[in-house]
Structure 1
Amino acid sequence: MSQTHYFIAVPIDSKVKEKIFNWNEREKPPFKRLVHKQDYHITLVFLGGIGESLLKELQKELNKVVTIHAAFTLTIDELGIFGPQNRPRIFWAGVKKEEKLFELQKAIFQTCTDLGVEVDKRSYNPHITLARKYSGDDPYVSDHRNASFQSYMESETWQVSNIVIYRTNLDKVPKYEVVASFPLKSS
């Protein structure tokens, strides 16, 4: 049995999830695995396989972090990819830059580091994973998809009022389960 993994994330509003899902179903991007719409999120910090006692300690500390970070609005922006340009591993939707998101992520990152959690040190790139493993025959080209996505989503926004810790359940669909939720300060 594999170890359970956890991560801290911003949940996506249900109407935004539905709209992204509908676009994904309509456009059918050439990727092997589309992400289930209930699994759409924006990762703040990946925790990996942490123990129960550390998870409880982290929850206490996150309760403190959210008291100094106010709710904020995010706006869907454009599409992007991770991996080789012609055969990407990950297909994602981004959000417009929002300083409050970066400040929150930085505070959570520091909290995790202070508790001894080994966290990814790469620069933060907020995104919503839509699909994995490019499956097209020709090299990947995004031009028409990005225009279609931006037109369809046209400034779609939602209020971020909480953050959550998700548990990954690889044998289930959807595979992410909320372990704890932390309300941000009212703005």
Structure 2
Amino acid sequence: MEQRTHYFLAVRIPEETKRIMKAHIEKIKEVHRFSRWVHYQDLHITLAFLGPANPEKLAAAEINVEDVLSDTKALKLKINKLGIFGQEDSPRVLWADTEESTELKAIRKKVFSASERAGFQLETRPFRPHITVARKWTGAHPFQMEQLEIWNKLQPEPLPFQASEVVLYQTHLNKTPKYEAITLFPLQT
């Protein structure tokens, strides 16, 4: 069965922040048992998951996103804690959270609308900005929510970074890292 490539638009995490996260993830792996850990180069904040796309729709999305972000300023974000999606005793996703940001929500809204205007049918779940760290709990014992506190030991203060690019990524499921930057949309600094 052929695997189709997928595309998504995301805030790029700067290299320095990715290296700090990589060190933290190595420590988190000692406490948490998940089957798949995200390669540190693949860390990002998804704004719009496009899925498989024909070249015309993808080109239209790129034009629309470039247009809506042309006067958008870079923003400061802070990674402040860990969280999970799924059942509390057996989560399907472990993620790092960012502090509330109205600027990030505004950028997401612009990118989301631009993608819809290009003809993409997007998820309608509320936007929950996060950086996926790992997937599928495999621990011998039920997951304990207290284990999320490891972040506060590794990073006593929120981890700040400047988000200065939105990126169109292409997924390569058979590679590591698996996300390839196709188009960069710089934000004004």
Aligned: 1:171 with 2:161: no
Write the distance in 2 (CA, Å) between the matches of 1:158 and 1:151.
Answer: 19
- Give me the TM-score of the superposition, normalised by structure 1: 0.95
| Identical counterparts, % of pairs | 36
User: Residue 103 of structure 1 aligns to a residue in which SS?
Assistant: helix
Pairing partner for 1:123 from 122, 126, 129: 126
Write the distance in 2 (CA, Å) between the matches of 1:77 and 1:95.
Answer: 6
Cα RMSD of the aligned pairs, angstroms, is 1.1
For the 8 Å contact 2:169–2:181, the answer to whether it is kept is yes
For the 8 Å contact 2:64–2:118, the answer to whether it is kept is no
Deviation at 1:150, TM superposition (A): 2.4
Consecutive unaligned residues of structure 1, counting only runs of 5 or more, are none
Deviation at 1:148, TM superposition (A): 2.4
What's 2:69 paired with?
Answer: 66
Consecutive unaligned residues of structure 2, counting only runs of 5 or more, are none
Alignment of 1:145-164 (within 5 A): 145-153=147-155, 154-164=157-167
Amino acid at match of 2:70: T
User: Residue 147 of structure 1 aligns to a residue in which SS?
Assistant: helix
User: Residue 132 of structure 1 aligns to a residue in which SS?
Assistant: strand
Deviation at 1:17, TM superposition (A): 1.2
Write the distance in 2 (CA, Å) between the matches of 1:19 and 1:30.
Answer: 20
Alignment of 1:3-152 (within 5 A): 3-28=4-29, 29-143=32-146, 145-152=147-154
User: Residue 26 of structure 1 aligns to a residue in which SS?
Assistant: helix
